[in-house]
Amino acid sequence: MGYPHPSHPKETVVLSQYFGDAGARSYEGWTRRGGYEGLRKALGMAPDAIVEEVKASGLRGRGGAGFPTGLKWSFMPKGDGKPHYLVCNADESEPGTFKDREIMRWTPHALIEGCAIGAFAIGAEVCYIYIRGEFTEPWNVMTAAVAEAYANGALGTNVFGSGKRIEVILHRGAGAYICGEETALMNSIEGRRGNPRIKPPFPAVAGLFALPTTINNVETLAAVPQIMVRGSAWYKGLCLGNPKSTGTKLISVCGHVQRPGNYEITMGTPMKELIYDMCGGMLPGRTLKAVIPGGSSVPIMTAEEAESCVTDYEGVVAAGSMLGSGGMIVMDDTTDMVYQIWRLAKFYAHESCAQCTQCREGTSWTTRILGRILEGQGTQEDLDLLLDLSHNMTGTTICVLSDSCATPIVSGIRKFRGEFEAYLSGARAPVLAGV
């Protein structure tokens, strides 16, 4: 299927097979499409065997960090007698990313099934799914699906007659980008301000309610039932050369392409094919200028870097950026890079939780300096000042929001310095009015 466009022949359709197919939303419709076979199979396995199977598949976290999922699960203590928690991060709020939304809207049971398998594997009886407050339709679809899953024995005190208890509880956020950070998310579920926590302790030791917790992204968990049914060897085989990046990845493409939307690719697909074949390339008469490949927090790539980039975790790093969440922002030759970098900095300044000085001050100072450059009031020293501030904002705070603000600034000045210089020299007319 595919949504909003039919799947492209170059896509590898696994998670997105039923996007756009409203019939897949119901329990009955989902089981008719092979749903819940993965959970039934998992319930017949030892939890350790599930973890090993996921490890063998090579599945890595799809929320941004790319940490191996099976390894993360294996960090959970065994035989400690304490309650464990699984938390699903459905706070999708990284600018450029809109894939988890489609998973929840079209295939809610894929996520519920993945949560149930994950919870069983890590010895948790309760899984909280934290859905951002703005996602009203995914919330409604998930609410209906969870109720149906309970009614059909896929959740509850005796899942499919196995004697195992697995509860899935939906928790609605209330507007805060930072709650997508895993420790801020746990604070938010606990009824606190969404301030990130210092690590260690890591969540597997002391997470939600100070108990052992694993946090996984929606797309990661939705892939797990497929691995259970089709096997780790099949999943590992979805790879175009680099065995460290396996499976499929949903790439949300937005910005200046002909057909924005979600595209599911085999890891290792050339970015050029994604942009020009699947998304139809640029609008008529326009050319590619820059790509932010993994959500707004990763370094900006030039057109040349993007066109020679292999889309997998290592490939994007080799091309000077990161795959992140797979939220790809495409910019054509009409784009004012200075303005776009200012707008990104403004986003981070708005979303800083303000715990750490470098972030609270740095995000707003950099935004103001970029603003004055756009007002035609910038000086040559401002570029050095921006780089100096960015340096102080990197690696010095509790979470990486501060680093994420510095990243587009540093990569932007390095790769598009001429555009900054044009404002500084007066060659380019100011676009922001002075304040």
Partner 1 sequence: MTDRVEQGTAREPAAAWEPVFQGETLARLKALFEKYPTKRACLLPALWMVQEARGWIPEQAIGEVAEVLELTPAYVKGVVTFYTMYHTHPVGRHFIQVCTTSPCGLCGAEDTLRAILRETGCGELGTTSPDGRFTVVEVECLGACGFPTPILVDDADFIESVTPANAAGILARYP
Residues in the site for partner 1, rule: CB under 8 A? Answer: 4, 83, 92-98, 101, 132-137, 167, 169, 171-177, 188-194, 209, 252-256, 260-262, 296, 327, 329, 331, 335, 340, 343-344, 347, 350-351, 353
* Closest to 91 in 3D by CA, of 36, 127, 139, 59: 139
**Taking the complex as a whole, how short is the minimal distance between the CB of residue 331 and partner 1, in angstroms?**
6
Q: 179 vs 373, which CB is nearer to partner 1?
A: 179
The residue among 220 and 325 lying less far from partner 1, judged by its C-beta, is: 325
Q: Give the nearest distance from C-beta 328 to partner 1 in angstroms.
A: 9
CA torsion sign for 327, 194, 104, 62 is positive
Taking the least distance from each CB to partner 1, the nearer of 83 and 376 is 83
Rounded least distance, CB 336 to partner 1, Å: 10
Nearer to partner 1, 99 or 245 (CB): 99
Least CB distance to partner 1 at residue 435 (A): 15
Q: Could you tell me if 337 and 293 are in contact, meaning their C-beta atoms sit under 8 angstroms apart?
A: no
- One-letter amino acid for residue 188 of the chain: S
Q: List, in sequence order, every residue forming a beta bridge with 328; answer none if it has no partner.
A: 253
Given the complex with partner 1, which of 42 and 356 has the nearer CB atom? 356
Taking the complex as a whole, the smallest distance from the CB of residue 288 to partner 1 amounts, in Å, to 13
In this complex, which beta carbon is closest to partner 1, that of residue 53 or of residue 415? 415
Closer by beta carbon to partner 1, 58 or else 96 = 96
Q: What minimum distance in Å lies between the beta carbon of 85 and partner 1?
A: 10
Query: Which is it for the CA torsion 368, 373, 377, 381, positive or negative?
Result: positive
Least spacing, CB of residue 194 vs partner 1, in Å:
6
Q: How far is CA 279 from CA 56, 249, 264, 309, in A?
A: 32, 15, 12, 16
Shortest approach of partner 1 to residue 356 CB, angstroms? 16
Q: Name which of 151 and 174 has its Cβ closer to partner 1.
A: 174
